[in-house]
């Protein structure tokens, strides 16, 4: 990238232009041929030493002879005075471009800056001629295929052996017009934007700069906006230029043309209309005064703006500099007045005010100085009412709702307090909304870690607060927290046989509080599940089960139930086989007979409940020691002793299912056959 300064009049325009292609053409010289309707511009890009020049030839037909077009070698300016003459009207402007004091200094700068000289020559044909880089052929056969050849010569006119040639069809072509895209202005200064396609490496459109025009409102003619050369920057396809408009508050029409290295202009771009409105706002207001009146209103005053084209003032108010201020005056305050009374303020609030100036076009100044006013708050806000509370079991939160007739201007927040009521020393209330709330509802989570105590009773108090911390009357409500978690089961369940008549069941208490009752469950070893036996109040931990049967295995358990009906798991079971401690009656009417092959016994059956069977005993003598004749029990009221004789004595006793054995009945001796 290279920077070149183009200076015209008193304005210096600094443009960065892409010069890679120009730099390459200086190291690898080439011909650039640009045909127009009446002549052909033939450029070469070889840097010539002092005294060197070139001859130019043209071949009008393929294979034809070359015709020399110049009589003397084209050398350009060889001295500073010649440079001045050849530049003509461009001389003074070229001095300003290169910041030179005279022709000699200009000559040295041009020789020491070949790239800038080459770029300038593409804009000004006079400059290219002065440097020996351009020949204008005004005899060329337009619309024909021709070949140009350049022969370089030394200071004596002798060929150096270096030549350049190029064959081209001489087809005149105007540059394509630009496309204006948009414009904006700040006061009289206008920035115009347009689009022009970049030049590709294999297509040379020869466009080097642009002319900007405005259409005169009276004559309809094009007027150059500026004499400055607006150079094309081939690195971009968008361009812009900043200039001062001679008019304001009107609709301007602009066109732009593209200019090639011969000075040819393209057709004008489309007409671009732009409403040029003076948009520089007036200076801001300073020195604002704010006074709070006895009515607690704010009285504003400021220095009246005395200048033409002022339409009026606007008043803005805010309570926080981090938030946008609110416009208080929909209609402009008359420019002759510098006073405003704000009656919409609320007590207990600090307000900030600023004033802007608006001109007749609608331009508004920036915010100027700020004035502060603090309004006292003497009236409490309206209190809440109809407070309701609900415990949400799914979220374990208390949902509060209330009503209020309206939120007064000085209202800032509702304050919600909470205290537990079901303990011996409730303590002080705790505020549970650290942030301000303006909604008529609040969800209390009971603390991040602790939450709510099941079965506890909580009192809530809600009231309104103003910005000055003046409070309304309160409203309160007490809400019980339901028991959701089942209580712990009781322990050490025991069943005790009470004399064979009943079973006494006892247990240790559940450690949980707020118990409502205990439920005693029972089943037998033949039942698949427990059945409820009895419910007792929490102070009782003992029952008598009278409905029991001897010989049955009973299993007991107990569950605790809280006041909300939540039932615990079963306690550890206790199993008891129920027996009777009273033996059955003695066996009666025992009869024994010696059958020869043994003794046959029979007796009257014992009909007491729970009889499991009988045991038969015998002894050698009536008062001797009796021994059992069998294992287990005899279930029928008869027995045959195959080893018995009439010399033996027999006794029979009854045994119940509890294992109780009756007293032995009367001993008998068998009756023999002879008897």
Domains contained in the chain, CATH given: 2-169 (2.60.40.10), 179-276 (2.60.40.10), 289-375 (2.60.40.10), 385-480 (2.60.40.10), 491-577 (2.60.40.10), 588-656 (2.60.40.10)
Q: Are 482 and 454 a contacting pair, CB within 8 Å?
A: yes
Band of pLDDT at residue 534, cut at 50, 70 and 90: very high
Q: Are 179 and 268 a contacting pair, CB within 8 Å?
A: no
* Average predicted confidence (pLDDT) for the chain: 89
The pLDDT tens digits for 20-44 are: 444 455 457 789 999 998 899 999 9
**Backbone torsions φ then ψ of 128, nearest 5 degrees:** -65, -40
Token pair for 572: 């550890």
Token pair for 588: 């009666």
The answer for residues whose C-beta is within 8 angstroms of residue 424's C-beta and 6 or more apart is none
CA–CA dist 87, 84 (Å, integer): 5
Please tell me the predicted confidence (pLDDT) of residue 20: 46
The secondary structure of 389-456 as a DSSP string is: EEEETTTTEEEEEEE-S---TTEEEEEEEEEE-SSSS----EE---S---SSEEEE--TTTT-PPTT-
The structure's pTM equals 0.50
Best CA proximity match to 76, nearest among 151, 120, 136, 132: 132
Buried b (16+ CB within 10 A) or exposed e, 34-46: bbbeebbbbbbbb
CA–CA dist 246, 483 (Å, integer): 87
Best CA proximity match to 21, nearest among 32, 10, 37, 5: 32
Residue indicated by tokens 């559940």: 510
Buried b (16+ CB within 10 A) or exposed e, 208-246: bbbbbbbbeeeeeebeebbebbbbbbbeeeebebebebe
pLDDT at 182 over 70: yes
Best CA proximity match to 558, nearest among 510, 515, 502, 498: 510
pLDDT at 288 over 90: yes
Give the H/E segment covering residue 167: strand 159-169
What mean pLDDT do residues 321-347 have? 93
Q: Which 8-state DSSP code applies to residue 637?
A: S
What mean pLDDT do residues 125-129 have? 87
Please tell me the predicted confidence (pLDDT) of residue 16: 35
Burial of 110 (0-12, 13-18, 19+ CB in 10 A): buried
CA–CA dist 633, 657 (Å, integer): 11
CA–CA dist 345, 438 (Å, integer): 19
CA–CA dist 15, 638 (Å, integer): 140
What mean pLDDT do residues 45-50 have? 84
Q: Are 205 and 72 a contacting pair, CB within 8 Å?
A: no
Token pair for 200: 């590709």
Please tell me the predicted confidence (pLDDT) of residue 192: 97
**How far, in Å, are 68, 139, 478, 514, 533 from residue 521 at the CA level?**
132, 129, 37, 21, 5
Token pair for 471: 């409070």
Band of pLDDT at residue 236, cut at 50, 70 and 90: very high
Neighbours of 553 (CB within 10 A): 12
> On the CB side of 658, how many CA atoms lie within 13 Å of its CA?
20
Please tell me the predicted confidence (pLDDT) of residue 467: 79
Residue indicated by tokens 């405005």: 214
Q: Which 8-state DSSP code applies to residue 636?
A: S
- Distance between start and end Cα atoms, the chain: 157
Helices 114-123 and 20-27 cross at an angle (nearest 10°) of 110
Q: Are 379 and 408 a contacting pair, CB within 8 Å?
A: yes
pLDDT, greater one: 447 or 153: 153
CA–CA dist 567, 516 (Å, integer): 10
**Backbone torsions φ then ψ of 94, nearest 5 degrees:** -65, -35
CA torsion angle for 152, 156, 157, 162 (degrees, to 10)?
A: -20
Please tell me the predicted confidence (pLDDT) of residue 11: 28
Geometric angle at alpha carbon 300, from 298 and 306, rounded to 5°? 170
Q: Are 493 and 557 a contacting pair, CB within 8 Å?
A: yes
SS3 21: helix
SS3 90: helix
What mean pLDDT do residues 521-528 have? 93
SS3 255: strand
Return the HEC string of 156-206. CCCEEEEEEEEEEECCCCCCCCCEEEEEEEECCEEEEEEECCCCCCCCCCC
Band of pLDDT at residue 17, cut at 50, 70 and 90: very low
SS3 185: strand
What mean pLDDT do residues 146-159 have? 95
CA–CA dist 189, 186 (Å, integer): 5
What mean pLDDT do residues 397-406 have? 96
The pLDDT tens digits for 158-178 are: 999 999 999 999 999 899 999
pLDDT, greater one: 641 or 6: 641
SS3 614: strand
Q: Which 8-state DSSP code applies to residue 348?
A: T
Residues in the chain: 675
pLDDT, greater one: 115 or 64: 64
CA–CA dist 338, 422 (Å, integer): 65
Give the H/E segment covering residue 178: none
The pLDDT tens digits for 209-234 are: 999 999 999 999 999 999 888 999 98
Token pair for 635: 């279930």
Please tell me the predicted confidence (pLDDT) of residue 569: 95
Band of pLDDT at residue 91, cut at 50, 70 and 90: confident
The secondary structure of 486-547 as a DSSP string is: PPPPPEEEEEEEETTTEEEEEEEPPS-SSEEEEEEEEEETT-SS-EEEEEE-TT--EEEE--
Please tell me the predicted confidence (pLDDT) of residue 118: 74
Band of pLDDT at residue 409, cut at 50, 70 and 90: confident
């Amino acid at each position: 990238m290279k920077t070149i300064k183009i200076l015209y009049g008193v304005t210096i325009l600094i443009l960065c232009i892409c010069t890679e292609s120009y730099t390459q053409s200086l190291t690898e010289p080439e011909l650039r041929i640009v045909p127009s309707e009446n002549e052909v511009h033939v450029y070469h890009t070889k840097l010539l030493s002092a005294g060197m020049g070139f001859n130019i030839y043209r071949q009008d037909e393929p294979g034809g002879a070359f015709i020399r077009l110049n009589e003397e070698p084209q050398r350009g300016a060889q001295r500073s005075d010649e440079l001045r003459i050849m530049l003509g009207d461009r001389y003074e402007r070229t001095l300003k471009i290169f910041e030179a004091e005279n022709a000699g200094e200009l000559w040295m700068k041009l020789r020491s800056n070949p790239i800038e000289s080459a770029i300038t020559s593409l804009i000004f044909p006079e400059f290219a001629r002065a440097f020996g880089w351009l020949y204008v052929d005004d005899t060329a056969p337009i619309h024909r295929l021709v070949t140009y050849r350049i022969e370089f010569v030394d200071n004596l006119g002798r060929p150096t052996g270096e030549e350049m040639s190029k064959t081209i069809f001489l087809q005149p072509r105007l540059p394509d017009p630009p496309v204006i895209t948009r414009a904006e202005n700040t006061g009289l200064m206008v920035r115009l934007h347009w689009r022009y396609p970049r030049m590709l490496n294999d297509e040379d459109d020869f466009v080097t700069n642009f002319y900007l025009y405005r259409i005169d409102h009276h004559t309809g003619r094009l007027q150059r906006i500026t004499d400055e050369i607006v150079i094309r920057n081939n690195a971009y396809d968008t361009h812009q230029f900043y200039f001062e408009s001679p008019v304001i508050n009107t609709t301007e029409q602009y066109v732009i043309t593209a200019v090639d290295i011969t000075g040819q202009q393209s057709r004008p771009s489309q007409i671009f209309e732009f409403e040029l409105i003076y948009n520089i706002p007036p200076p801001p207001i300073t020195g604002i005064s704010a006074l709070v009146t006895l009515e607690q209103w704010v009285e504003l005053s400021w220095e009246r703006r005395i200048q033409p084209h002022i339409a009026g003032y606007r008043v803005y108010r805010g309570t926080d500099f981090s938030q946008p201020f609110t416009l208080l005056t929909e209609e402009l305050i008359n420019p002759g007045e510098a006073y405003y009374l704000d009656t919409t303020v609320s007590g207990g609030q600090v307000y900030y005010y600023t004033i802007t100036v608006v001109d007749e076009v609608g331009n508004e100044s920036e915010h100027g100085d700020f004035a502060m006013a603090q309004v006292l708050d003497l009236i409490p806000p309206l209190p809440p009412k109809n407070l309701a509370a609900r415990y949400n079991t799914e979220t374990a939160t208390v949902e509060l709702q209330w009503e209020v007739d309206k939120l007064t201007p000085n209202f800032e927040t509702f304050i919600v307090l909470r205290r537990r009521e079901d303990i011996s020393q409730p303590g002080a209330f705790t505020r549970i909304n650290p942030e301000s709330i303006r909604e008529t509802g609040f969800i209390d989570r009971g603390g991040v870690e602790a939450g709510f105590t099941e079965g506890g009773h909580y009192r809530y108090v809600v009231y309104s607060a103003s910005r000055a911390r003046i409070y309304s009357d309160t409203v309160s409500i007490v809400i019980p927290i339901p028991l959701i978690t089942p209580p712990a089961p009781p322990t050490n369940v025991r069943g005790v046989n009470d004399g064979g008549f009943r079973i006494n069941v006892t247990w240790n208490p559940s450690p949980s509080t707020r118990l409502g009752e205990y439920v005693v469950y029972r089943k037998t070893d033949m039942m698949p599940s427990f059945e409820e036996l009895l419910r007792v109040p929490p102070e009782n931990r003992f029952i008598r089960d009278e409905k029991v049967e001897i010989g049955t295995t009973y299993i007991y358990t107990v569950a605790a139930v809280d006041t909300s009906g939540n039932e615990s798991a079963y306690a550890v079971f206790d199993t008891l086989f129920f027996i009777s401690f009273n033996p059955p009656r003695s066996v009666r009417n025992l009869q024994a007979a010696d059958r020869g092959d043994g003794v046959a016994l029979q007796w009257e059956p014992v009909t007491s409940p729970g009889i499991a069977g009988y045991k038969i005993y015998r002894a050698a003598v009536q008062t001797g020691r009796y021994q059992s004749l069998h294992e287990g029990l005899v279930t029928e009221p008869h027995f045959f002793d195959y080893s018995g004789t009439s010399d033996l004595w027999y006794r029979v006793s009854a045994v119940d299912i509890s294992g109780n054995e009756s007293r032995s009945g009367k001993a008998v001796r068998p009756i023999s056959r002879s008897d």
